[in-house]
Amino acid sequence: MINYKYDMIVQIRFDVEGINYFSSQTCRKIRAMNTKTQFAPSPTGNFIRTIIQEDIDAGRVPGKVVTRFPPEPNGYLHIGHAKSICLNFGLAEEFGGECNLRFDDTNPAKEDQEYVDAIKEDVQWLGFQWAGDVHYASSYFDQFYDWAIHLIKQGKAYVCDLTPEQASEYRGWATKPGKDSPFRNRSVEENLSLLEKMQQGDFDEGFCVLRAKIDMASPNMNMRDPILYRIRKESHHQTGDKWCIYPSYDFAHGQEDAIEGITHSICTLEFQDHRPLYEWFTENLPVPSKPKQYEFGRLNINYTVTSKRKLKQLVDEDIVAGWNDPRMPTISGMRRRGYTVAAIRSFCDGLAVAKTDGVVDIAQLEFEIRNDLNANAARAMCVLNPLKVSITNAPESVEWLEVANHPQQEAMGKRSLPFTKNIYIDASDFSEDTSLSRKKFKRLVIGDYVRLRGAYVIKADDVIKNDKGEVIEIIASLVPDTIGQNPPPEMKPRGVIHWVSVTEGKEVELRLYDRLFLAEAPGKETDNYLDDVNPDSIKVIKAFAEPSIVNCDPETVFQFEREGYFVSDRYDHSVDTPVFNLTIGLRDTSKK
């Protein structure tokens, strides 16, 4: 049974631009919570699922449903991409179809093999497998070039020598029609010869571009003779130095889908206005299929930025320690933080797939993390702020106690916990103030009793202080026969506290992470999101942990009792240098 706190749910706010993003989801979860930790995809709130089902029912999908996830390898994937991944791979799976992983690698200046590798790893870590080999837009460069020639031959593309400034002036703006370029009426022969020269490297970067000949007066700016090819004398991570001209994203994207036979091309809302252009291309080119595009709202999360450009800046300016810094909302950062696949997927599956952008409360993601870890993380003890306790009547030798790894899940087994004469408790778990009520302070008070988790009830008899009058040691005694048994009523413990043996415990490094941004909408008030960076988002401390956890593999999440969830660091943890990252506290303490 999951100990599910109703008040955690009501803290989650639903005010997403007038859309109630979570209410039905949340209700469903409240009902399901006591029996389940993972959820099937939401049966509601996804208009794309409905479209696919209708297409299948009407016989419009003769073969399999084919979707794709098309990242540009110019950064690591973030939580927003996770939504798109879960949607694309999830729908393909649901309808017995396939999902491709395709790199939209048309801009070599910003791309890198490092990103390609990281993206593949992240998709697989989330538990998805793409159909067949990874695809690359760059594998279709020959085809795109042939199609550029095809458009020129049809009189539908031309080489334009306007400078970028002139081109922008000729383009007009939303309410002002553009003007035709003076190069618009070049002959087919001249255009073919100029394109060839571009391709051979005869011109400098920026000297000219290839443009589609559509309509300079179109109300849709994307239709005002958009760029098809530009000169970029850049090496490409996949094609090397084969090309010095590269297709624009717009000229590539829709045709990539057409080549791959994508049945449902799902993208975010900002591409809605590009759809008429993609359709113009598929109408004017001999493409093998005509995919339809559907747009959904991007995932934005408060206290977070989800833009690769901004995340890259955080990395480049050393504000974080890399793309996989545990504070980053990247998939690799969340992984390193100890966020689980089940929790991330449950979060994504619970999001509405709607036709509007919205902001989701980070508490919803954090709720999923806690929920999963509460059910599945083994318990262990670690003292963050140690205060020594000497138990006068404890045996001299180590007493090995058997304790359950999880209070509800017997299958998680037991471990041996060493109890010794000298132990550490957390300094905040002790008080000399005997007037503190038992109800308010359920910890150790001088002259009173407390239970050590999994061990004895002890009584604090005396304290030793340093020159400054600070307590540096507690002298205590244990009540015999109280392991797993209650003491006599007059010795009733105030509460249960965690502890670690001084001699058998191990020193560990804890990296205590907090939110990276202090503002709900980073940059909204300050105009520069960097001004909202939390200067205290990481604190590194030494702590004492029970010895069993030090041997764990990297990426093992524990609940350190009464402290929070911690994961052994994916890269830095070892038996000799144990390092644990704070995944998340036990409950939401953020002030709202």
First-to-last CA distance in the chain?
29
Instruction: Output the smallest distance, CB 72 to Mg ion, in A.
Output: 5
- Residue 118 corresponds to which amino acid? A
User: Tokens at residue 50, please?
Assistant: 């409905």
Q: 180, 217 in Cβ contact below 8 A? A: no
Q: Under the rule (CB under 6 A), what is the footprint of ligand ATP? A: 70-72, 80-81, 83-84, 267-268, 298-299, 306-308
Q: Under the rule (CB under 5 A), what is the footprint of Mg ion? A: 72
User: Tokens at residue 328, please?
Assistant: 């980053």
DSSP 240: B
Residue 298 interacting partner from Mg ion, ligand ATP, none (CB closer than 5 to 8 Å by kind): ligand ATP
Measured in residues, the chain has a length of 592
If the CB atoms of residues 84 and 332 are measured against ligand ATP, the closer one turns out to be: 84
SS3 content of the chain, % helix, strand, coil (to 5): 30, 25, 45
Instruction: Using DSSP, state whether 588 is helix, strand or coil.
Output: coil
Q: 522, 512 in Cβ contact below 8 A? A: no
CA atoms within 13 A on the CB side of 377: 30
Residue 100's CB is within 10 A of a number of other CB atoms, namely 23
What are the residues facing 444 on neighbouring strands?
A: 430
Q: How far is CA 449 from CA 389, 444, 501, 582, in A?
A: 13, 6, 19, 30
Element (H, E) at 545: strand 538-545
CB-nearest residue to ligand ATP? 80
Counting other chains too, the contacts that 12-21 makes at CB distance below 8 Å and 24 or more residues apart are: 12/361, 12/363, 12/364, 12/367, 13/361, 13/363, 13/592, 14/361, 16/358, 16/359, 16/360, 17/356, 17/357, 17/358, 17/359, 19/352, 19/354, 19/356, 19/358, 21/351, 21/352, 21/358, 21/360
User: Tokens at residue 18, please?
Assistant: 């007038």
Residue 25 interacting partner from Mg ion, ligand ATP, none (CB closer than 5 to 8 Å by kind): none
Q: Which of 101, 94, 144, 143 is nearest to 123 (CA)?
A: 101
Q: Give φ, ψ of 572 to 5 degrees.
A: -100, -10
How far is it, in rounded angstroms, from Cα 342 to Cα 37? 8
Instruction: Output the smallest distance, CB 310 to Mg ion, in A.
Output: 13
DSSP 175: T
Instruction: Output the smallest distance, CB 592 to Mg ion, in A.
Output: 33
Q: How far is CA 477 from CA 130, 392, 393, 464, in A?
A: 61, 5, 6, 15
Instruction: Output the smallest distance, CB 239 to ligand ATP, in A.
Output: 19
Active site (catalytic) residues? 72, 298, 308
Q: CB-based contacts of 85: which residues, under 8 Å, 6+ apart?
A: 69, 77, 123, 126, 128, 348
Q: CB-based contacts of 71: which residues, under 8 Å, 6+ apart?
A: 77, 81, 103, 104, 119
Q: 248, 104 in Cβ contact below 8 A? A: no
Instruction: Output the smallest distance, CB 430 to ligand ATP, in A.
Output: 47
Residue 60's CB is within 10 A of a number of other CB atoms, namely 12
Residue 388 interacting partner from Mg ion, ligand ATP, none (CB closer than 5 to 8 Å by kind): none
In this structure, is the dihedral angle defined by the CA atoms of residues 217, 223, 229 and 232, taken in order, positive or negative?
positive
Q: How far is CA 26 from CA 80, 91, 120, 422, 567, in A?
A: 20, 22, 32, 47, 27
Q: Which of 270, 299, 295, 265 is nearest to 281 (CA)?
A: 265
